[in-house]
Amino acid sequence: MNYIVLDLEWNQSNTGEEPEVKEIPFEIIDIGAIKLNHEKVMVGEFNQLVKPAVYLHMHKITSKIIHLHMQDLLKGRPFPEVMEEFRSWCGTDFVFCTWGPLDLFELQRNIRFHELLPLSDVPIRFLDIQKLFSIAYEDKKTRRSLEYAIDFLEIEKDIPFHRAFSDAYYTAKILERLEGDVLDNYSVDTFVLPRSKEEEIHIKFHDYMKYISREFEDKHEAMEDKEVISTRCYLCHKNIRKKVRWFTPNGKHYYCVSTCPVHGFMKSKIRIRKSENEKIYVVKTSKFISEEDALKLQKKREEAKEHRKLKKKASKLKDQNH
């Protein structure tokens, strides 16, 4: 298996000059990639400018960051032609690697806009090197810039940043340094979502569990689904009792705490996300926490409940005054 380390640059609408096209808010203008073999040795490279078909004025911020102008891009090749070459270059047995979670999503959106063959008909598993850097060297949560990581690892900066090929090159250099089971912490791109309950994703990592649902019409439908709101110990695979029932402090994230007789307190968090089809889906994570952290969530639930009461009371008084 090979590693395809991918980086993209894209252009977008210039306010007042050309309107945004909803189906492709970010048009890819530069594709760079490095291929590493199973031993993480560099064995190939891809570097191609893309001739724009949607946004024909270069956004001033984009131009400033990547030092490209529209006359440079007009020398590029059409996206369908570049993608055909890129797919052939990638081969068949590989995993995508990117710095951050955005590139694969936008690549698939550009592919769909140009009515090309999809990369996949299921969610794509990939390696987010930015996340893996944090897992390997920091607190697992902080997300650093690519240049910060290069400086941290004392990797020589021998080509400029902020072009697709150079950023892919530096990302590959960081990937070379990652060892052990860090690479087991893969990510899942959600441009394509599970199409049925049977295809929903359940992933067990070293210290937490992730679930990605199929699409639902709205938040209400999702939060009535048994699998979405279930609390199952991911170590002994048994449904466990909720100590703190599902609550939301903001309407987007939901929390609960359950108790496993064997493994202790388990925190679950639901994130409500909007899909490309204007529907919603759920990402649920579960992990074991201390009793102290469980009590903090219980207090947070009580505060959220009190906040709702005060808000309801204020709304009622407002209606009475009118």
- Give residue-wise pLDDT tens across range 38-52: 999 999 999 999 999
Q: Which residue has the tokens 């087991």?
A: 184
- State the Cα–Cα distance between residues 50 and 30, nearest whole angstrom: 6
Residues 21 and 145 in one domain: yes
Quick one: 55 and 180 in the same domain? yes
Q: What is the pLDDT of residues 138-161, one digit of tens each?
A: 999 999 999 999 999 999 998 888
Clarify whether residues 130 and 252 are in a common domain.
no
Task: Please indicate, yes or no, if residue 51 is contained in any of the structural domains.
Answer: yes
| Residues 46 and 173 occupy one common structural domain | yes
Do residues 160 and 205 share a domain?
A: no
Burial of 133 (0-12, 13-18, 19+ CB in 10 A): buried
pLDDT higher than 70, residue 15 = no
CATH code for the domain of 152:
3.30.420.10
- Cα 143-209-95 angle, rounded to 5 deg: 60
pLDDT at residue 320 tops 80: no
Output the average pLDDT for the chain.
94
Pair 20, 116 in one domain: yes
- Report yes or no on 267 lying in a domain: yes
Residue 319 in any domain: the answer is no
Q: Could you read off the pLDDT of 71-94 as tens digits, one per residue? A: 999 999 999 999 999 999 999 999
**pLDDT-derived band at 313, boundaries 50, 70, 90:** confident
In a domain, 315, yes or no: no
Which pLDDT does position 322 carry in this prediction? 61
DSSP states of 128-183 as a string?
A: EHHHHHHHHHS-SS----HHHHHHHTT----S-SSSHHHHHHHHHHHHHH--GGGG
On whether both 12 and 39 belong to a single domain, the answer is: yes
Q: Is residue 272 a contact partner of residue 282, using CB atoms and an 8 Å limit?
A: yes
Show which of 144, 166, 184 is a domain's final residue.
Answer: 184
In a domain, residue 314? The reply is: no
Residue 316 lies in a domain: no
Determine the structural domain holding residue 237 and report its residue range: 193-309
What pLDDT sits at residue 60?
Answer: 80
Query: How far is residue 189's CA from residue 104's CA, in Å, rounded to a whole number?
Result: 7
Secondary structure class of 42 (helix, strand, coil): strand
Boundary-marking domain end, from 184, 211, 241: 184
> What's the pLDDT tens digit per position in 156-183?
998 888 899 999 999 999 999 999 899 9
- Of 53, 11, 59, nearest in space to 164 by CA: 11
The verdict on 130 and 215 lying in the same domain is no
The pLDDT value recorded for residue 63 is 79
171/222 same-domain check? no
